[in-house]
Each structure stands twice: as C-alpha cells, then as structure tokens.
Amino acid sequence: MKIYIETYGCALNNADTALMKKILVSRGHEIVSRPDDAEVIIVNTCTVRLDTEQRILKRLHQLKKFLSNNGRVKLIVAGCMAAAQPYTITKTVSEASLVSPQNITRIHEVVENSGKSVMISGERDTTLLCPLVEGFTAAIPIAEGCLGNCSFCITKIARRKLRSYKPDLIVKAVKEAVSRGAIEIDLTAQDTAAYGIDLGSVRLHNLLKAIVEEVRGNYMLRVGMANPDSMLPILDEFLDIMKHPNVFKYVHIPLQSGSDKVLKLMRRK
C-alpha cells in the first residue's frame, strides 16, 4: 500500500516516524511524499503545546474533508494525542484509527486491517529501535516515559511510565547512525537522566561509557533534556564521562520554580 506520514513535535516523535517507516517498508509498503498519492495517511501527533494541538486539529478537519472525497483512503492518528486525548480525536474525525506511542511497532497491523483500529493501551516494545538520520545528525531514543507525576503534565499521560532501551540495542543504533554518515548523535528521552533506573543495572553514564568504548569513528554524543531530580544522584559520574572527547560539553536541565509552594502544587521537588 502507498502510505503518507505527517509528523508533529519532538525528536522522539520523529524517531517514532522513522521506525514506522522502517516497519512498513519491510512489509512491502511504499512511503509517498503527498497525501494525494496515498491509500493510507498517518498523522503522528504531539500534545505538549496548545498551539501545536490546535494546528493538528485544524489539519484533521482538512483531512476529514479530504476523506469524504476519497472514500478508500484510510486515516490513522498516531502519537501523543492518540494516547492522551483519544476522545478529542474521535470527536474531530470519527473514522480515524488510533495508535498510541506504545503501539507504533504494531503500525502494520492497523495499516493492513481494512476496518477501524484502536490501539492505545499496553506498553512499548523496547526491542525495536531505529535511528533517525538526517544529514549529519541522528536522533536516537534511549527511553520513553518518566518517573514523575507532575500535576500539569499531559506528556506523562501520553508517554507513561519509564521504559529504557537495552544498552546493546542503543550501541547498535549509534553504530548504524555513524556508518550512515552521522556526526552528531542526539540521545533523546523525556528524561535522559532517568535512563536505566527501570533496568536496575545501568544508568546514563554507564550507557555513554559503553557507546564511546564500543563505537569508533568521528562523531559526538549530545545528551537531551534531563530533569534535575534524576540528574543529581549521578551528577559526578555524568560530569566525568563528559570529559571524553566524543561527548559534547552540554547539559539541558530545565529550571524549576524557586517557590516551595509552587513546586508542591506542581508535584515536583
């Protein structure tokens, strides 16, 4: 089948799209660059920002009209809005199938099913990983979800609890990205400093050490956003591995409120 994919949001969403494309192509489907050429349209959504959410809903209204004139085209809404706001999606375009981030490795089942599908429960399959290589940059997810439960955060509803990829799988993905010409390797997650807590035997600094020891070549590692609560217990080890010439001297830690009252209301420390 001919499939068109639109992607909104963060590096993780773009990496999810790369994985969906890999799965679909491996099953004989064709990725096309225009919705007019497609038999299936997939919209990989983001729900972090209100303006992005409104833009996606506007696009879904447009696609609803497109579907009314092209009755054989199937619409799949994937990503964070499908997980966190399924009723908003179905209210906007009732015929759309829904696939949460936890189920993107089953995207072929939804594409190949002639009817409407809803896959918004379950956990992520962390045995499949695909680097998103664009020019000299590659984005590689190392984990999904987080350990927090912030009062305002819809991302927690969408990405759910922490699920880390095994170190050997990430090392393999970095090797693949470097072999494809990537020089900057961006390691992404909702909270990179929480990496490995769910695995029990490895943390972020252990992962970085494994990568620089096992992957040879001209590349630099950039670590994505880390929450301070997760970073503090491993800060010394992290700063030590940052001395390696293949690791950017770069830290992305969002500032928290200086008010204890506000932090309590946010359910943060």
Q: So what's the pLDDT on residue 37? A: 94
Q: So what's the pLDDT on residue 154? A: 86
The domain boundary, picked from 119, 154, 176, lies at 119
Q: So what's the pLDDT on residue 148? A: 86
Residues 109, 7, single domain; the answer is yes
As a whole number of angstroms, the distance between CA 118 and CA 221 comes to 37
As a whole number of angstroms, the distance between CA 121 and CA 221 comes to 33
Whether 2 and 32 have beta carbons less than 8 Å apart is answered as yes
- Domain range holding 150? 132-241
Residues 100, 150, single domain; the answer is no
Residues 115, 136, single domain; the answer is no
Q: Looking at the domain assignment, is residue 265 inside a domain?
A: no
Q: So what's the pLDDT on residue 29? A: 98
Residues 159, 74, single domain; the answer is no
Residues 79, 156, single domain; the answer is no
Residues 8, 89, single domain; the answer is yes
Tell me the pLDDT tens digit for each residue of 143-155.
Answer: 999 898 888 888 8
Give the containing element (helix H, strand E) for 40. Answer: strand 40-45
Whether 11 and 18 have beta carbons less than 8 Å apart is answered as no
Domain count, the chain: 2
Q: What is the mean pLDDT of the chain?
A: 93
**35-63 in b/e burial notation, b at 16+ Cβ within 10 A?**
beebbbbbbbbbbbeeebbeebbeebeeb
Query: What stretches in the chain show pLDDT beneath 50?
Result: none
As a whole number of angstroms, the distance between CA 5 and CA 33 comes to 8
